[in-house]
Amino acid sequence: MTGVNIIGAGKYVPDLVLTNEMLSQIVDTNDEWITTRTGIKSRHITNGEPTFHLGVMSAKEAIKDAGIDPKDIGLIIVTTITNDFSTPSVACLIQREIGAIGSMAIDINCACAGFVYAFDMAKRYLETDKNLKYVLVVSAEELSKITDYTDRSTCVLFGDGAAAVVLERDENKIFSSYLGADGTGAEYLLARSYNSETPFTTNFNRFDDKMPDGNSHYLFQNGKEVYKFATKTLPVAVKESCKKIGLAPDELDVIIPHQANVRIIETAAKNLGISMDKFYINLQNHGNTSSASIPLALYDAIKDGSLKRGDKACIVGFGAGLTYGGIVFEF
Ligand code: UT7
């Protein structure tokens, strides 16, 4: 079976740590509510560094960790919902800074499932193009750019950060993916792009896009609907990605879920009949960083020894779109 080998990992978070206490000074909330409802204690927030810079820093560490020449990277996939420019892509800016000139470079937007989608794409490229040596996947997010810090229902949840992996083809590792999306839930989690009225616009405010009213570019979330979707989807994605290769979920050594809310993970663990000990959690220190959350946790799990060589792992994400996906792979 063709799989991938993670030969390097990197992580970068801004210095500023925004604690629950600090948030309770700017909005009507408190540490007790945030901790018991989400598990989050603090998150990192940029003080102006752009998204691509976070990505560059994490990519540089991953490349150093892998011990490769950046010129041998044939494909850079960046996952983000908080790009600095509509164009060029974050991937091109990262490519410029790391010296991988000539590689393919693309951004994908699959929200919190972004890293799972990118990991799957990387594997498929490596499998079908034997000239491709290394793929760099970078997930870089600055949710603070689209967060309304007067809205307590969302501003306590999100944080900024980036993480990266260097991947190579491995003919002897297990790999299985189960990815999907349900656009009928698009209205539950969104952030509008900037409005672009032109001299020719006549029905700008009349077109029914089937999304909640408002022209704000801040994140809007129907927490209850997304919670329901997440608790239903997470176990399904784990089970289905395992099933494709005849593995029982309890044979997994480590599960690295999207870090949105510890209660979602606890509910999924119960549903799967798997001990919480197998779920890697670092959301207490990062909050929800959308597509960066899984690779940030993956990085921490590698560095603290929770994920060891030979382990069977599952990464599983869910988010705006609504998108979802699980991948089982051997580390
Ligand atoms: O990454 C994308 C995926 N996103 C997710 O997975 C998020 C899924 N949703 C959730 O995790 C949860 O729905 C939230 C954490 C967002 C909210 O938790 P909840 O238990 O569903 O709370 P709620 O929205 O039902 O609010 C309960 C109460 C309300 O007060 P009343 O109406 O009962 O008096 C809120 O006004 O808590 C209040 N509340 C707060 N209180 C203090 C809401 N936010 C806060 C806050 N601090 N930050």
User: Would the CB of 165 count as within 6 Å of ligand 1?
Assistant: no
Nearest CA to ligand 1 atom 42: 29
Query: Annotated catalytic sites, by residue?
Result: 112, 258, 288
User: Which of 65-69, 91-95, 207-211, 257-261 is the least confident region?
Assistant: 207-211
Establish if 133 belongs to a structural domain.
Answer: yes
67 and 162, same domain (yes or no):
yes
87 and 230, same domain (yes or no):
no
Write down the pLDDT at residue 288: 98
Element (H, E) at 200: none
SS (H, E, C) 117-144: HHHHHHHHHHHHCCCCCEEEEEEEEEHH
Q: pLDDT-derived band of residue 213, with 50, 70 and 90 as boundaries?
A: confident
Over residues 63-80, the mean pLDDT reads 98
185 and 48, same domain (yes or no):
no
Establish if 199 belongs to a structural domain.
Answer: no
- pLDDT at residue 196 is higher than 80: no
Q: DSSP per residue over 21-38, as a string?
A: HHHHTTSS--HHHHHHHH
Sign (positive or negative) of CA dihedral 236, 237, 243, 246: negative
68 vs 200, higher pLDDT: 68
* pLDDT tens-digit map of 4-56: 999 999 999 999 999 999 999 999 999 999 999 999 999 999 999 999 999 99
Nearest-atom number in ligand 1 for the CA of 263 is 11
150 and 180, same domain (yes or no):
no
* Alpha-carbon gap, residue 319 to 180, rounded angstroms: 11
17 and 97, same domain (yes or no):
yes
108 and 129, same domain (yes or no):
yes
Q: How many domains does the chain have?
A: 2
Establish if 204 belongs to a structural domain.
Answer: no
Give the whole-number percent of the chain exceeding pLDDT 70. Answer: 98
Establish if 205 belongs to a structural domain.
Answer: no
- pLDDT at residue 207 is higher than 90: no
144 and 187, same domain (yes or no):
no
Mean pLDDT for the chain overall: 96
Establish if 104 belongs to a structural domain.
Answer: yes
Find the 153 Cα to ligand 1 centroid distance in Å: 6
Over residues 47-72, the mean pLDDT reads 98
Find the 26 Cα to ligand 1 centroid distance in Å: 17
User: Would the CB of 113 count as within 6 Å of ligand 1?
Assistant: no
Establish if 275 belongs to a structural domain.
Answer: yes
163 and 223, same domain (yes or no):
no
User: Would the CB of 23 count as within 6 Å of ligand 1?
Assistant: no
* Alpha-carbon gap, residue 189 to 88, rounded angstroms: 25
Find the 268 Cα to ligand 1 centroid distance in Å: 19
75 and 166, same domain (yes or no):
yes
We report the CATH number of the domain holding residue 276 as 3.40.47.10
Establish if 209 belongs to a structural domain.
Answer: no
138 and 251, same domain (yes or no):
no
User: Would the CB of 294 count as within 6 Å of ligand 1?
Assistant: no
Tell me whether residue 97 is exposed, middle or buried, using C-beta atoms within 10 angstroms of its C-beta: 0 to 12, 13 to 18, 19 or more: middle
Write down the pLDDT at residue 194: 72
Find the 156 Cα to ligand 1 centroid distance in Å: 10
Boundary-marking domain end, from 117, 138, 170: 170
Boundary-marking domain end, from 135, 170, 205: 170
Residue 241 in contact with residue 179, Cβ under 8 Å? no
Range of the domain at 23: 3-170
Establish if 228 belongs to a structural domain.
Answer: yes
184 and 47, same domain (yes or no):
no
Q: pLDDT-derived band of residue 255, with 50, 70 and 90 as boundaries?
A: very high
* pLDDT tens-digit map of 234-250: 999 999 999 999 999 99
221 and 162, same domain (yes or no):
no
Reading the block at residue 199, the tokens are 């001299």
* pLDDT tens-digit map of 162-177: 999 999 999 999 999 9
